[in-house]
């Protein structure tokens, strides 16, 4: 824990870093798997989603009055947790369905991040454009996963890996934006 203190990372940032690593691991894990075994590993991918969603919900519960855009964090967490149930309980999902499933998740979160960036802009939070960029990346990668020729050209596993890499990038943006998202007037804000 001393290393995080030296880096001046607080509990929220450490939890987001953990989520970042979980999703990064999922991307690396899936990129090395052939498309034919994707249905066997869908529950592991769902578990990684579940963890990142639960982290966002936990952070919302602990910081809902301290963070600008906290409701978007709750929505992100709830959508991710609810959608993660599908790959966890359906252990035999067709490989063709998996990229569509994760693509819809990515597309939904991309739209949410874009709207969140508008809210951060309206609240004059510097760095709001990071969420705009992230939302656009998420929407593009989500759409790409829904386009069959592209999906087949680069492989289902690569499409899913891209989605998880973009999601992990989102946590890096959140970590870097934490100080700006934190309410400056709140003396209890975890800084």
Domain-wise residue ranges, the chain = 10-181
Residue 95 has what pLDDT?
62
Residue 111 has what pLDDT?
95
Residue 4 has what pLDDT?
47
- φ/ψ (deg, to 5) at 148: -55, -50
Sign of CA dihedral 55, 30, 100, 147: positive
Q: What is the pTM of this model?
A: 0.86
Residues near 181 by beta carbon (within 8 Å), at least 6 away in sequence: 67, 68, 69, 120, 125, 174
Residue 99 has what pLDDT?
79
Residue 75 has what pLDDT?
94
Show the tokens assigned to 8.
Answer: 């001046």
Q: Which residues of the chain have pLDDT under 50?
A: 1, 3-5, 191
Please list, residue by residue across 85-104, b when 16 or more beta carbons sit within 10 angstroms of its beta carbon and e when fewer do. Answer: ebbeeeeebebebbbbbbbe
Residues near 53 by beta carbon (within 8 Å), at least 6 away in sequence: 76, 77, 78, 79, 80, 81, 82, 84
């Amino acid at each position: 824990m001393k290393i995080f203190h030296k880096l001046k990372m607080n509990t929220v940032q450490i939890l987001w870093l953990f989520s970042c690593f979980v999703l990064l691991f999922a991307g690396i894990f899936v990129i090395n798997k052939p498309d034919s075994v994707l249905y066997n590993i869908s529950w592991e991918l769902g578990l990684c989603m579940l963890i990142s969603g639960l982290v966002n919900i936990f952070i919302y519960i602990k910081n809902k009055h301290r963070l600008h855009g906290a409701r978007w964090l709750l929505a992100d967490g709830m959508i991710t947790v609810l959608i993660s149930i599908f790959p966890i309980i359906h252990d035999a999902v067709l490989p063709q369905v998996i990229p569509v499933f994760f693509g819809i998740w990515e597309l939904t979160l991309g739209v949410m991040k874009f709207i969140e960036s508008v809210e951060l802009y309206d609240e004059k939070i510097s760095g709001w454009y990071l969420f705009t960029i992230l939302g656009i990346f998420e929407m593009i990668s989500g759409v790409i996963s829904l386009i069959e020729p592209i999906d087949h050209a680069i492989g289902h596993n690569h499409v899913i890996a891209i989605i998880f890499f973009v999601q992990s990038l989102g946590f890096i943006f959140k970590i870097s934006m934490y100080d700006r998202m934190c309410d400056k007037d709140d003396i209890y804000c975890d800084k």
